[in-house]
């Protein structure tokens, strides 16, 4: 029993559980832990938008609960408890945190959102060790989180209200209790069941064993850690804590170490391009079966890099998932042991992951430890101005699964892939995008917004409307480049409500909400671009029409915009993926064509698509310009009606 070695060490200690939850008390009591209950008075008012992930919010809440109890007990008894345990359980779907409902209607909204979908249950746990020095409380916090994925069945209205009327949802995170009546709503559970009930006992026991029964150095090689798998991806990397020699690669054949074929070095007369280009022609007649020595072909460095490319991607995804680059942000270099402790992972796995990131040019390594490269500081830190963290998270959690089933998509069609990975509604355009998708869009828009805003001189326009403008990233760049311009972002209410989560530092004077505060340079107005009246403007902007939309749907929207451009001089700015000169693939945007393989109903790009659309809608003066490597921008001006 994993908890048994630490029971004796805790028997004589004063252990306090900072929770009034009877479920947590029952779980810990059944495990044999003796404790007293002191419910926390911490007001759970932390801003969810200020945390990079739902589990970070749960961990901080758990820590604050435990610290509040530790301080209160020490002040009351003039003696601090030895250990205080705090916990907070939340439900998250699409990046949106669902806590306890405030009334029946709120419970209905929560459960309706979960119906037929998979969601995550996170429990953050804080173990606070207390001591008193000179009458002052001294604390040391160990914290971790556990995630369990739960899938709800499709819930009928009758079943929903029957369950709500039972009263069970009202004190449960996410509006349900899986251990009671709520269990009938659940189709499957992937992970720790007790974590959904309210406390991850297994992970808690492992953490206690780690804290009270540390392993000896000679035993480390026998311990299997599952936080970061020690996979072949990192076999070739250095295990030294600081400095050390450069990583070397060794291939394994038949269980024995083998030296890989020697690759040509840079700068010589070899015929292999080190930049991944095509090798020089190889004459197959240089060798044969007559006993003469064959001349081997040049090493296909570019092809080998392509074959192993998924390993590098997954290493990057894992580092972002563990917030490694955030931990190393603006700090002195840190050793692997400290990073491992902060991300709750094995030292061995963490060191190898960090070394992989060094090899990929994402981290730097010195005798003092690991630190971010400039590339990581600009693009991988979650709250940097041009961060790609949201896009990476979406790629890891969603796109990776789709491409894992690429063969199915090719044989049976993309629709089968979405069913195979449980993403049946992923392309349903009638639904608002999830917070994760919005963050991904925000990241990519930030990269191209300046090029789109400056593709043409738009200074003659003073009032613009970005249709489906999402988080307002392009709108912000437009008002920065053209100070006289005011921009209205027109999108669904569900999208606008999540804008602060994508732009937590957006100024209060920059508009917001469903009303659309027109005095601000950028204002947000809620509405449906297909059905509601479009805001008045002398420039309408539509950036990257979703490729999942069928042609007739796109033209219907474009006609609505064209009809709104009633005055001479009104403009329509349209951005679309750019094709190369041969019109065979997007320039710098290969992923657009790759996505066609796994996305059902995707329109294939055509030559000068944006220009053709605008001319078809009657815009007499149409100009086209490139906005970097990814987008082509067309500006149509209404000369006359």
Residues annotated as catalytic are 88
For residue 279, the SS3 value is coil
Scan for tokens 């601000």, then name that residue.
520
Radius of gyration of the chain (CA): 29
Give the CA diameter of the chain: 93
Distance separating alpha carbons of residues 420 and 408, to the nearest angstrom: 9
Q: CB atoms < 10 A from the CB of 147, how many?
A: 17
622 DSSP β-pair partners: 636
**Cα four-point dihedral sign 512, 517, 519, 523:** positive
Q: CB atoms < 10 A from the CB of 35, how many?
A: 18
Query: Which positions ≥6 away from 570 have C-beta within 8 Å?
Result: 538, 539, 540, 564, 637, 638
Distance separating alpha carbons of residues 50 and 325, to the nearest angstrom: 17
Query: Which positions ≥6 away from 412 have C-beta within 8 Å?
Result: none
144 DSSP β-pair partners: 125
Q: For residue 348, what are its two tokens?
A: 């061995």
Scan for tokens 């915009």, then name that residue.
561
Q: For residue 85, what are its two tokens?
A: 């345990």
List, as one string, the DSSP characters of 361-382.
TSEEEETTEEEE-HHHHHHTST
């Amino acid at each position: 029993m994993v908890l048994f070695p630490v029971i004796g060490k805790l028997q004589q200690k004063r252990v306090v559980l900072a929770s009034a939850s009877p479920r947590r008390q029952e779980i810990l009591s059944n495990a044999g832990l003796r404790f007293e209950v002191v419910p926390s008075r911490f007001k759970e008012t932390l801003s969810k938008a200020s945390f990079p992930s739902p589990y970070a919010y749960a961990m901080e809440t758990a820590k604050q609960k435990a610290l509040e109890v530790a301080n209160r007990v020490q002040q009351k008894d003039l003696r601090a408890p030895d250990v205080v345990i705090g916990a907070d359980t939340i439900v998250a779907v699409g990046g949106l945190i669902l806590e306890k409902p405030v009334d029946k209607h709120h419970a209905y909204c929560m459960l309706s959102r979960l119906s037929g979908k998979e969601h995550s249950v996170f429990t953050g746990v804080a173990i606070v060790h207390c001591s008193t020095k000179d009458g002052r409380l001294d604390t040391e916090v160990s914290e971790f989180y556990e995630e369990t994925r739960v899938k709800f069945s499709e819930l009928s209205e009758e079943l929903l209200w029957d369950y709500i009327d039972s009263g069970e949802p009202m004190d449960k995170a996410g509006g349900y209790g899986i251990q009671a009546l709520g269990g009938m709503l659940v189709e499957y559970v992937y992970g720790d069941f007790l974590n959904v009930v309210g406390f991850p006992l297994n992970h808690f026991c492992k953490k206690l064993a780690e804290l009270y029964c540390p392993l000896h150095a000679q035993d480390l090689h026998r311990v299997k850690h599952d936080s970061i798998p020690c996979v072949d991806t990192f076999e070739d990397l250095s295990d030294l804590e600081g400095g050390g020699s450069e990583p070397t690669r060794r291939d394994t054949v038949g269980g024995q170490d083998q030296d890989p074929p020697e690759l040509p070095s840079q700068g010589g007369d070899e015929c292999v391009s080190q930049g991944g280009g095509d090798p020089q022609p190889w004459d197959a007649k240089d060798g044969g079966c007559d006993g003469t020595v064959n001349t081997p072909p040049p090493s296909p460095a570019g092809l080998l890099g392509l074959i192993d490319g998924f390993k590098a991607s997954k290493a990057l995804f894992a580092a972002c998932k563990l917030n490694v680059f955030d931990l190393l942000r603006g700090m002195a270099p840190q050793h692997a042991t400290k990073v491992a402790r902060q991300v709750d992972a094995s030292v061995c796995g963490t060191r190898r992951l960090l070394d992989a990131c060094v090899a990929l040019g994402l981290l730097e390594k010195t005798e003092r430890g690991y630190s971010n490269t400039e590339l990581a500081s600009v693009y991988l830190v979650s709250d940097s101005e041009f961060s790609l963290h949201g896009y990476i998270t979406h790629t890891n959690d969603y796109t990776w699964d789709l491409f894992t089933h690429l063969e199915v998509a090719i044989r049976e069609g993309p629709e089968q892939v979405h069913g195979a990975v449980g993403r049946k509604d992923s392309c349903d355009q009638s639904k608002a995008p999830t917070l994760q998708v919005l963050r991904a869009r925000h990241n990519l828009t930030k990269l191209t917004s300046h090029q789109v805003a400056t593709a043409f001189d738009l200074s003659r326009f003073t009032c613009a409307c970005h249709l489906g403008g999402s988080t307002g990233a392009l709108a912000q760049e437009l008002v920065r480049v053209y100070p006289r311009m005011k921009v209205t972002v027109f999108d669904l209410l569900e999208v606008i409500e999540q804008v602060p989560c994508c732009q937590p530092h957006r100024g209060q004077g920059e508009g917001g909400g469903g009303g659309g505060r027109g005095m601000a340079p950028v204002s947000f107005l809620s509405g449906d671009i297909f059905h509601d009246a479009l805001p008045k403007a002398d420039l309408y902007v539509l950036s990257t029409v979703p490729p999942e939309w069928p042609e007739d749907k796109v033209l219907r929207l474009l006609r609505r915009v064209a009809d709104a451009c009633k005055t001479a001089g009104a403009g329509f700015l349209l951005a679309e993926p750019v094709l190369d000169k041969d019109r065979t693939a997007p320039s710098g945007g290969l992923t657009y064509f790759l996505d066609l393989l796994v996305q059902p109903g995707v329109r294939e790009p055509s030559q000068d698509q944006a220009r053709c659309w605008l001319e078809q809608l009657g815009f007499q003066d149409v100009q086209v310009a490139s906005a970097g490597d990814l987008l082509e921008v067309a500006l149509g001006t209404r000369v006359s009606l």
